[in-house]
Amino acid sequence: ITKLQPLCSKSADQERLVAAVVERYGRVDVFVSNVATNPAMGTMLESTTEKIWDVVFSTNVKSHFFLTKRLVPHMKAGSNIVFISSYAGYLPSPILGVYSLTKTTLLALTRVLSRELGPRGISVNC
């Protein structure tokens, strides 16, 4: 069992990670996606700039989706994907603003991908 910890919000980093995993193991059986950032505290309207919005969504949603998209071709029936969300996804907090929004989005992404990949025998949970 090997743990790799690259920064995976950039395409090139994701491609290197997938290539390394496939070269070493030939396939992906389990993918646990646990990445998040929250550079702003306070109400969403007062504390969220466009730059903060872009950084938080890129890290907390986009990176999960596109790394998953790159890994799925190397998964077979019986493989598992696990996204790590947050309590803030279920009970959004006014002081966590955009972070809460991205964690709720991650819950929806889990449901969508579960329905898409379930028929292929790949489970997706959060």
**What positions carry a catalytic annotation?**
99
- 11-32 b/e (C-beta count within 10 Å ≥ 16 → b): eeebeebbeebeeeeeebeebe
Q: Determine the Cα–Cα distance for residues 120 and 114; give it in Å rounded to an integer.
A: 10
By C-alpha distance, which of 17, 20, 24 is closest to 63? Answer: 17
- Residues for the chain: how many in total? 126
Question: Could you tell me whether strands 123-125 and 80-83 are parallel, antiparallel, or unpaired per DSSP bridges?
Answer: parallel
Choose among 14, 15, 16: nearest CA to 33: 14
